[in-house]
Amino acid sequence: MLRVMRAVWGALIAAGVMFFAVDAEAQSDAERRQSVQADINRATDCITQRVRTHSGFRAAVLAGDISDLLGEALRPCAEHILAMSAAHDRNFGGGTGRAFVMGDFNERLDADVRARLKPQIDRILASRGQQPRQQQLTAESNRARAAAYECAYREAARMLRTNETAEAVAKAAVLLCQVQVQIAVRAIGRAVGLNTVTPRMEREMDTIMRDQVMAQVIARRGDLANQSANPPPPQAATAGRNADDPSLARSRPLVAPLETCLRSAVQGTTTGRMVARDAALTTAIDICRSEIEALGRALFVDRAKPTLDEGRVTALEFAKRLTGEILDR
C-alpha cells in the first residue's frame, strides 16, 4: 500500500503539481486538527466510494483483503488527497502534509474505509453461509409445488369423462389436494423469506392451480372427443411401436403429431448433407421438444403413468426409439 501511495505521489509531482511550505498559524493543536479533519474526511470518503462500487468488492471482502482496491482508488481521488496534504501544511507547517499522507493516513486507511463500509461488509459476510440454505429452500418449494400440481392433475384425470364443467372439475381437484397445496404454499413462503403464510397467499395459489388444471381438463377433453370421433385404424403405423409400452396406446392422439414432427426434423436435418446418426437424432429430439412434453403430460393426465416425470421419461424414450427407426430406413 505504501508503494502504491508513493507511486501516486510521484506521478503528481511529475505532472507539475506544486507543494508549498506554509508556516502553521498560531492555533492550538485541537483547532488545527479540526481544521484538517474535513479534508481528511473528504479524501477518505472518496476512496471509500471507489472501493464500494468496485466490481471486485464482494470477492475482496470474502477474501479478507481490500488493499488492492484501496490502491486502485488513490489515483481517482488524488485531488482530495492533495487538498488534505495542503491543509496539513497550512496548519502544521510546510512538508508535514506529505509525511502525514505517507504515514498516519496511509496506515489508518484500511481500518477507516472498513469502518465506513461495515454495514455492507457485514451483509456480505453474513450471506456467505446463506446461499446453500436459500438454494435448498428454493428446491424444496419447487418440489412441493410440483407435487401439488401432480395431485391436482391426477384427481382431475379421474373426472375427465364426467359431465361437470372444466371449472368445476378443476375446483374439485384442487380441493381434494388441499393438503399438498398448503404444503406448497408454506414451502414457497419459506423460500421468499416469510415466516407465516397468509390466507391471501393460499387463495392466490388455489386460483393459479385451478386455472392451470382447468386448461388441462379442456385440452384433454378435446383429445378424448377427437379420439372418439376418429378412432385410429387397427393397423396404424405406430401400433407396433406402442406394443412394448401399452400406456402409449391411451395417448395415441398425441403420438401422431410427434411422429410427424420427428419425420420432418429428420428430413430437414439429413437431406442433401452428411450428418452423423447421433447428431441427427439429437437435433430431431430438440426440434420436437414441445410435442414430446405434450405426450409426457398426457401420459400422466390419462393416468397411464403415476407421475409427470415418469410420463416425460416414457415420452422421451419413445421419441428416441421412433427417431432411430426413421433414420435407419
| Within-domain flag for 284 | yes
Total domains in the fold of the chain: 3
pLDDT at 243: 41
pTM (two decimals) = 0.38
Instruction: Based on the fold, state whether residues 138 and 223 are members of the same structural domain.
Output: yes
pLDDT at 240: 41
pLDDT at 125: 83
Residue where a domain stops, chosen among 172, 195, 229: 229
List the grid coordinates of 329.
Answer: 430406413
Instruction: Based on the fold, state whether residues 52 and 151 are members of the same structural domain.
Output: no
Instruction: Based on the fold, state whether residues 252 and 313 are members of the same structural domain.
Output: yes
Instruction: Based on the fold, state whether residues 123 and 8 are members of the same structural domain.
Output: yes
pLDDT at 186: 84
In terms of residues, how long is the chain? 329
- Helical axes 2-14 vs 67-74, angle rounded to 10°: 10
| Within-domain flag for 75 | yes
pLDDT at 263: 83
| List of the chain residues with pLDDT < 70 | 1-27, 129-132, 195, 220-247, 249-254, 268-275, 301-302
pLDDT at 117: 93
| Within-domain flag for 234 | no
Residue 285 sits in which domain range?
A: 239-328
Instruction: Based on the fold, state whether residues 8 and 102 are members of the same structural domain.
Output: yes
pLDDT at 52: 92
List the grid coordinates of 219.
Answer: 385440452
Residue where a domain stops, chosen among 127, 153, 176: 127
Residue where a domain stops, chosen among 177, 210, 229: 229
Instruction: Based on the fold, state whether residues 93 and 177 are members of the same structural domain.
Output: no
Instruction: Based on the fold, state whether residues 184 and 282 are members of the same structural domain.
Output: no
